Amino acid sequence: MTDRAWFDAAKGDIPQWAASMPKDADGTTIDWDWVRSLDLAHGVGTIPESTPQSIHDALKADYATREHLESIIAQCNSTFMTDYDRFIGSYRLPRALAYANRRLNDNINTLLHLGEQQHLWVVSRERRGRTTVAVLRPYSGSRPSNDDQGMLNLSGETGDASAGNTAAENSDVKFPTTVALDDIQDRTAAILDARAERRKAQRFQKRAGDAAMARANLSGATSPGGAALPGGAAASGNATGHHPKPDWRDAYLPGRDVDAVMGIDIETTGIDPARDYIIDVGFEFMNMASPRPAGEPETYAYEQGYYAAGDAYGQSRLAFGVPPENAALGNALIAKLTGIDVRGRSSEAGYRLFDEWPQAQAGLLARLTQQPYVAHNATFEHSWFMLNVAGYAESYRAGRITIIDTLPMSRQWDPGAVPTNEHPYGDNTLDAYAKRQGALDSAHNERHLGLEDSHIMLVAMKHHLAALKAQRKGPWGSTGRAGVGGKSCGRKR
């Protein structure tokens, strides 16, 4: 159980957010009075009666609530980071909304499962555009109406033998004859696609404006959108002659003076920090240039017995739980990928939830601010920390956090990361990068556990930097940076 006082404090921030963020990520005016009315601590989901129509109505209401919440959460990051006058002092309101949204998402999945149990529908998880959504179809054991696509006949008057008794046949309650499916379909994919199209149009408009300014500027080479990159695009090329184009990820590349770093990796129940839970955190430390600190233990027993601690020190593995509703549903994909079965990670079994454990959050934040932290595809960890770790967003905005990413190291500086049909930008997975840099034997694969993945990442990074220094490439090349490098707010390079 978490201290509920911070939810009240989060709601106390609503006037600041309302003044700075009148609209959500979809351009809709935010009803802040509605946000204020939500019981974020105890749940915003709908508890239905056992009738089919009640289950349908509860699912419809929960989908609508989730859409509203997530469109607000999606806009909070840019609003907070561009609040240059620091009118918004805390990020706890988005964290509180995400906390409530995770439980709401559990309630939605429970309703989907309940509807399947009562033969109201069949759920399939399908990839649609940028995400995976739950698609509802009529239960095949009862004959769908030919005239009403997406409607399920529950009257029991089809004349066909039913495959098992339905809830209608086992109860004296008079159920409605049909439950509509078209108005309880998951709209997440359509929402994300529309949001992406709006951003694309905005970027196009900005580029067009920059180009117009460049044409009007007689100096050209110094105009917005018209300046040539120092050293040219070829400056970041690798030994194969392939020259990756510079992109936004390059801001996370290390500098030539990087040394002590903390490598971190998290395992989660899904990919959305506003819907899913952190269940495993692993981190350790390594010096990229200076000797390993004296007095640190020489060995560490990783789960993979063939891992050697080497230069790593300060290893830590943290396990977290999920709410009982989430545990009850299970997660076969995550169990297969990580070996973690959430059915045994219920808070009722003694596991504490990361987003309900302020001491764990404070301890992690203290470590993240002591030195640069390194992750592979670090924007993933960053997005989860923003919505899960109290004080992280504020520390990041204040410039107290530096993030280094080994993914652009692989993409920009690794000769083996050549484009193929399967990998247009090269194979930059942690597994592939670690193997190319000699941190993982070709006979083994990435373990998908926080500590083990952090270890092979840091070993690969240290091997890679040593090779680049010897070749006078990467941070030591013509476009390399002095200092520790990485992404940090407020620092100009």
Q: Which of 145-149, 243-247, 358-362 shows the lowest per-residue confidence on average (mean pLDDT)?
A: 145-149
Domain 244-476 bears CATH identifier 3.30.420.10: yes
Rounded-to-integer distance, Cα 177 and Cα 169, Å: 12
pTM recorded for the entire structure:
0.86
What is the sign, positive or negative, of the torsion defined by CA atoms of 109, 135, 166, 151? positive
At residue 159, does pLDDT exceed 50? no
pLDDT of 210: 79
pLDDT of 37: 97
pLDDT of 491: 53
- pLDDT: is 387 or 168 the higher one? 387
Beta carbons of 370 and 421 less than 8 angstroms apart: no
pLDDT of 177: 42
pLDDT of 368: 98
**Annotated domain spans of the chain:** 5-191, 244-476
pLDDT of 57: 97
pLDDT of 218: 56
Structure tokens at 139: 């239960």
pLDDT of 152: 39
pLDDT of 143: 41
At residue 44, does pLDDT exceed 70? yes
Q: Which of 60-74, 174-188, 271-285, 407-421 shows the lowest per-residue confidence on average (mean pLDDT)?
A: 174-188
Strand locations in 377-493 (E): 403-405
462 half-sphere exposure, CB direction, 13 A CA radius: 22
The residues, any chain, with a CB within 8 Å of residue 209's CB and separated by 6 or more, are none
| AA letter at 301 | A
CA angle 419, 422, 423 (to 5 degrees): 40
| Confidence bin at 154 (pLDDT 50/70/90) | very low
Residues 482-491 have pLDDT tens digits of 999 999 998 5
At residue 135, does pLDDT exceed 90? yes
At residue 234, does pLDDT exceed 60? no
Residues 97-116 have pLDDT tens digits of 999 999 999 999 999 999 99
At residue 149, does pLDDT exceed 80? no
Residues 192-229 have pLDDT tens digits of 999 999 888 888 888 888 787 777 775 544 444 444 44
Residues 48-102 have pLDDT tens digits of 888 999 999 999 999 999 999 999 999 999 999 999 999 999 999 999 999 999 9
Strand locations in 89-139 (E): 122-128, 131-137
At residue 232, does pLDDT exceed 90? no
| Confidence bin at 238 (pLDDT 50/70/90) | low
At residue 413, does pLDDT exceed 90? yes
* Arithmetic mean of pLDDT over the chain: 87
